[in-house]
Amino acid sequence: MIDEELVQLLSPEGERVSHPDYESTLSGDEVFGLYRDMAIIRRICNESTSLQRQGQLALWAPVQGQEAAQIGAGRALEPMDFAFPSYREHGVAWCRGVPPEDMLRLFRAVTTGGWDPQKYRYSVPTVVLGNQTLHAVGYAMGVQRDGAEEAVLTFFGDGASSQGDVLESFVWAASFNAPVVFFLQNNQWGISTPSSVQSKIPLYHRAHGFGFPGIRVDGNDVLAVYEVTKRSLESARVGGGPTLIEAYTYRIGAHTTSDDPTRYRIDAEVEVWKHRDPLERVKALLVREFKVKAAAFTDVAAEADAIALQLRDDVLAMGRPDPITMFDHVYADQHPLIDEGRREMIELGVSGGEH
């Protein structure tokens, strides 16, 4: 993936790469923190895949290979910023403080959401491709009207980049100079559809046609993703308008646990990308430049294991919700059909009672 325009600060071998516009100034502790985040989210992901295979989740959307893109972007956010995900941004959810068990509620099929979006300033999962980009722009227009110095970050993929909503959100963000950053994870595959079918030009080039900057960053380089996202968010906060970031990465795993990628892509391609692993290169840097000892990595692995085991316990403890809860929060105000449905369910004895 030799690309002169790709922002990269750390090579796949863990060597620092100089770039005319971006530089990583993170301390050893901070870089280690990013490594820890990535290791934990990978472990959470692996545990979730196992839980699905064991029949404990309806579905899981693996994040493996995209840890740097998500942790780099997630850690670039300030607490007051707001982010709008699609459904695979478990790494961003982790950075926003969403408890791992809450990330899995949707996949356990006990809710259509999972967490309090205002508490974490991280919106609910969005499964319909691209819908959330318009919500992000609208929210950003609200930020503008409030005169607040906050930025909005929204996530979507190369597949969703073909959706009308995404392109409309580009138009609106540009027209209103909205404080929003579009974070496109180009993981090369929309289930079985290669990104070459979504676009005949590099996706980040699209931004120029809409009138705002587009940047392609090595999505497997957490240092580069962090710096590029941080600067784009800073620009948005002070009236600099939108930016499109294309994080060039790869979906190592299946689209979801229902998918079989061996039907549409070759192993050799996956192997190439495994050599560009986002964690290994940071580990190499930490060992060589920051002299981090092996024991520190062992400690992170143990911590990640503990989080995964706790997650397993928490998920298994999530029972079938009382069916009567399906009537909660359909409307903010009283509604006769909700009252009627509730009444009928109670009469049928299906529910545990009034909820």
Partner 1 sequence: MATTTMTMAKALNEGLRRAMEKDAKVVLMGEDIGRLGGVFRITDGLQKDFGEDRVIDAPLAESAIVGTAVGLAIRGYRTVCEIQFDGFVYPAFDQIVSQVAKMHKRSDGVYTMGLVIRLPFQGGIGAIEHHSESPEVYFAQTAGLRVVSCATPNDAYWMIQQAVEHDDPIVFCEPKSRYWEKGEVDLDSPPRGLFDAVVRREGSDVTVVGYGSTVKTLLRAADTAAGEGTSLEVIDLRSVAPLDVDTLVRSVEKTGRLVIVQESPKTASIGSEIAAELTERCFYSMRAPALRVSGYHVPYPPSRIEDAYRPNVERILDAVDRVMGYES
Which active-site residues does the annotation give?
Answer: 251, 255, 264
- In the region spanning residues 324 to 343, those forming contacts with partner 1, defined by CB under 8 A, are 328-333, 335-337
State the CB neighbour count (10 A cutoff) for residue 165: 18
The rounded distance, in Å, linking the Cα atoms of 110 and 57 is 10
- In the region spanning residues 99 to 138, those forming contacts with partner 1, defined by CB under 8 A, are 111-113, 116-118, 123-126, 128, 131, 133-138
Of 131 and 162, which has the nearer Cβ to partner 1? 131
Alpha helices in the chain (DSSP H): 28-53, 67-76, 90-95, 100-108, 117-120, 131-146, 164-175, 195-198, 206-210, 222-237, 267-274, 278-288, 294-316, 336-348
Of 33 and 138, which has the nearer Cβ to partner 1? 138
**What are the distances in angstroms from CA 42 to CA 11, 64, 66?**
20, 6, 9
179 forms part of the interface with partner 1 (CB under 8 A): no
175 forms part of the interface with partner 1 (CB under 8 A): yes
The rounded distance, in Å, linking the Cα atoms of 249 and 349 is 51
Of 30 and 102, which has the nearer Cβ to partner 1? 102
Of 50 and 144, which has the nearer Cβ to partner 1? 144
- In the region spanning residues 134 to 163, those forming contacts with partner 1, defined by CB under 8 A, are 134-146
164 forms part of the interface with partner 1 (CB under 8 A): yes
**What are the distances in angstroms from CA 64 to CA 43, 49, 326, 339?**
9, 11, 33, 44
The rounded distance, in Å, linking the Cα atoms of 10 and 31 is 12
Contact pattern for partner 1 over residues 66 through 105, marking x by CB under 8 A: ------------------x---------------------
Which residue stretch of 60-68, 205-213, 254-262, 322-330 sits at the interface with partner 1 (rule: CB under 8 A)?
A: 322-330
**Backbone torsions φ then ψ of 180, nearest 5 degrees:** -135, 145
Catalog residues that contact partner 1 under the rule CB under 8 A: 84, 111-113, 116-118, 123-126, 128, 131, 133-146, 164-165, 168-169, 171-172, 175, 328-333, 335-337
